[in-house]
Amino acid sequence: MKRLNCYIYTRVSTSMQVEGFSLDAQREKLRKYAEYQEMHIAGEYSDEGKSGKNIGGRLAFQQMLSDIASGKDNIDYVLVFKLSRFGRNAADVLSSLQIMQDYGANLICVEDGIDSSKDSGKLMISVLSAVAEIERENILVQTMEGRKQKAREGKWNGGFAPYGYYLEKGELKIAEDEAETIRLIFDKYVNTNLGANGIAKYLNQHGIAKKPRQNGTLDTFSAHFIKLVIQNPVYCGKIAFGRRKTEKINGTRNEYHIVKQEQYPIYDGIHEAIVSVEAWELAQQKRKKLGVKREKIYNLDHEHLLSGLLRCPVCGAAMYGNINRKKKPDGTIYKDHFYYACKHRMRVDGHKCDYHRQWNQTVVNGAVEEVIERLVSNPEFEKALCEKINTRVSTEGLEEELAVFKKQLNQLVMSKRKLASQMDTLDVTDRHYDKKYQDMQNRLYDFYDEIEVVEEQITELQARIANIKEEKISGENVYLFLHYYGTMYKEFTDAEKKKFLNTFIESVEIFKEEQPDGRLLKCINFKFPVFCDGDENVTHIRWDSETTVETVVQLVRKNPDTHIDFEISLDELDLTAAESKATYQEIKDYVLDKFGLKVSTLYISQVKAKCGIIERENYNKGKEGHKVPKCPKEKEDAIMDALRHFRMI
C-alpha cells in the first residue's frame, strides 16, 4: 500500500515553555507517532515564541500551508501535539483546516486523539478550537492581572529600563550619568518658556550627548524623546499601568493596534525618584496647556497653494506658507499677508540655510498660474492635449496572449486531476504497482512545474495590463483638466487649486531676488509631459538658461544728405496696452480689481520714480509747509505688481 506522507508542526508561545510542551518534547512525541503509524515525515515546521491568537506572525505555519497548496510533498496529514499548538483562534483553525482539506491533507492532534478525516474529528476540532480561544483569552486576562498586581506593589513590569535608570535583578536603579540630563530636562521645561523642541535644541547645542540604549541608537536628543520623558511618571517615583492598550481594529478579524490611554492608574514605586512629584505635576500642567491643538479660525478658505512645491533658491528645500497678520491698536485684525518662506534647514555642508526673504503668495501664485494659462491657451498645446486624451492604449495583443495562457492553464489543471484520479484507481495487487505509481507521480510533479510557470506568466501579463490602464487613466485625468483649465480653475476653492497643482507640478524653483525684467520663476518641473515650443514631451520649463548672441557693430556718425518726415499710427502697428505702456487709470483699475485697493496718481508716480521709470519730481514737497505722505507698503506692493503686469519693469 502507498505510504502516507506527513508534516510535523510544533509551536510554543514563549522560549521557556513548561515541561511537556517544549519544542523538543513535541517533536519527540510526533516522530514516535509517525513511526508507529508508518508515516513518512516529509518536513518539519516550527514557530518558537509565537502566539496562537492568529497566523499573521507565524511564518513557519504559513509556509507549511503554502507547501501543502503547491503539492510539494503530496501531504496526507499534518501532525500536531495538541489542537492548541495548531491555533487558539477558532476562525483561523477552521479556515486553515479547510485550506488543507482542499488539497487532500488532514489534521491529526496526537495528544487529543483527533483525526479531521473522520466525521467525529471535525466535530471535536470545532468544539476544541473554540475552547482553545477561550483559554487564550483567560491566559491573557490572568497575565494582565499579574502585571497589574506587580504595578500595585510598585515593581517594574519588565522591558527596557527608561533613560536615567538601569535594571539590577529586575529593579530600577538610578544611572547618575543619565539622571542629570533628566533633571535638566524637567528644570528647563518647568522653569523656562522652552518647549520640547527648544529643550532638545538646547541639549544638542550645549554638547550634552544622549547615551545610546537598547531601544534608542541616536546620540542626539529629539523633541519626541523629550515628550516621552516629561510624560513618564516613573521619574517621580511612580509606576504607571495601562498607559497603552492593544485594541482590535474595527472591521478586521485579527488585526490590532496600540492605543494611547487618556486615563490610567499610577502607583507608588519602590524605586528612587529622579525628580520631585511637584516638578512632574507642574510639567504635566504645562504639557496640557501647550499640547492643545489649535484650530484654524481665520481665513478658513485660504490655502498655501505652493507650500511644499516651491523650492528655496539657496538650500533647495521645500518652502512653507507663512502669515503676517496686521492688527489695529485695539487688537482688531484688518489685513492678513501671506508669504512663502524657507524653514532654514541644515544644508549638506553642515550650515543652516540663511535665505530669509519671504515671497508674497499672491505674486508667486499668480506667476505660476500665468505660466500654466499661457501653456493651455496655445492652440498647439490644446491640439496635443486632445490627441493625448483621445489616444487609445491598445492592450489587445496582451489580452489575446493572456487568453492563450489561461486556456493552457485550464488544460494542465484538468490533465493533473485526471492523472490523480488514475493514480487512485491503480490496482495495489498489480506487481508493477510501485513502478506505475512512481511514473504517475513524476508526471504529476511535471504538471505542477508547468502550472507554476504558466501561472507566473499569467500574473505578469495581468500586472502589465493593469499598469498600462492605470497609467492611462491617471494621465487622462490631468490632461482632461488642463483641457478645461481656463474655465474651471477660477471656480475652484483654494483647497481644490492646491490639490490640482500638487497633482500636476513636481516643484517650482525661483531666483534669490526678482530679476530686473520682473522674472521671479527659474523653473517649473511637471509630473506629466506637456506641450511647449513644439515638443510634446516637455517635463520642465526653465527661464535661467536663455542663450544670447553677441553682435559687434561699428557705429559712424554721418549727417544725412536728405531727411524724410513720416507719421506712425499705433493702431496700424496693433500694439497692445502693455507694449504702449499703461495709463495711470489702467494701473488704478488693475490694483482695485485685483487687490481691492484704491491708489492715487501721486502714489503711482512715487513708485514709478522709485523704479526709475520716470524722473524724480517735486511731488514729495507739495505745497509750502506741507509734506506729501509716503505711499504705504501694501499699496506700493500692489502698484509694483501692476507695473510688472503691464511690463513696465
CA 488 to chain centre: 30
Return residue ranges of the chain for CATH 3.40.50.1390.
Answer: 5-150
Rounded CA separation 169/155 (Å): 11
Strands 266-268 and 40-48: unpaired
Phi, psi at residue 8, to the nearest 5°?
-110, 130
pLDDT tens track for 264-298: 788 888 889 999 999 989 998 888 877 665 565 56
Out of 58-67, 91-100, 381-390, the most confident range is: 58-67
Q: Are 132 and 86 in contact (CB under 8 A)?
A: no
| Orientation angle between helical segments 433-483 and 396-424, nearest 10 degrees | 160
- Give the torsion through C-alpha atoms of 627, 619, 602, 625, to 10 deg: 20
Rounded CA separation 317/345 (Å): 8
Out of 158-162, 429-433, 552-556, 595-599, the most confident range is: 595-599
Phi, psi at residue 489, to the nearest 5°?
-60, -45
Rounded CA separation 257/278 (Å): 34
Return residue ranges of the chain for CATH 3.90.1750.20.
Answer: 165-290
What pLDDT score was predicted for residue 8? 92
| Orientation angle between helical segments 584-595 and 601-611, nearest 10 degrees | 100
SS3 44: strand
Q: Are 223 and 196 in contact (CB under 8 A)?
A: yes
What pLDDT score was predicted for residue 93? 81
**What is the 3 state secondary structure string of 342-400?**
CCCCECCCCCECCCCCCEEHHHHHHHHHHHHHHHHHCHHHHHHHHHHHHCCCCCHHHHH
What pLDDT score was predicted for residue 218? 65
Residue with cell 483641457: 483
Percentage of residues of the chain with pLDDT beyond 90: 7
Which residues are 238's β-sheet partners? 268
| Orientation angle between helical segments 90-102 and 119-152, nearest 10 degrees | 150
Q: Are 300 and 288 in contact (CB under 8 A)?
A: no
Q: What angle do CA 253, 255, 256 make, to 5 degrees?
A: 130
Residue ranges of alpha helices (H) inside 82-118 are 83-86, 90-102
From residue 353, how far is each of 307, 368, 444, 479 by CA, in Å? 18, 24, 68, 37
Q: Are 12 and 21 in contact (CB under 8 A)?
A: yes
**What is the 3 state secondary structure string of 571-628?**
HHHCCCCCCCCCCHHHHHHHHHHHHCCCCCHHHHHHHHHHHCCCCCCCCCCCCCCCCC
- The three grid cell numbers given for residue 357, joined into one nine-digit string: 526673504
pLDDT tens track for 173-212: 998 888 899 999 999 998 888 888 889 888 888 888 888 7
pLDDT tens track for 531-548: 666 666 677 788 766 444
**102 vs 157: which has the higher pLDDT:** 102
- Residues in CB range of 279: below 8 A, 6 or more apart: 186, 187, 190, 236
Count of all residues that appear for the chain in the document = 649
- Does the domain made of 396-483 have the CATH classification 1.20.58? yes
pLDDT tens track for 330-383: 766 667 888 899 877 665 555 778 888 888 988 998 888 888 777 777 666 656
Average pLDDT, the chain: 76
**253 vs 106: which has the higher pLDDT:** 106
Q: Side chain identity at 31, as an amino acid letter?
A: R
What pLDDT score was predicted for residue 15? 44
Residue with cell 489587445: 396
Give the fold, CATH level 3, of 5-150. Rossmann fold (3.40.50)
Report the sign of the C-alpha dihedral through residues 69, 70, 76, 80, in that order. negative
In eight-state DSSP terms, residue 53 is S
* Cβ atoms within 10 Å of 230's Cβ, excluding its own: 20
Return residue ranges of the chain for CATH 1.20.58.
Answer: 396-483
CATH number of 165-290: 3.90.1750.20
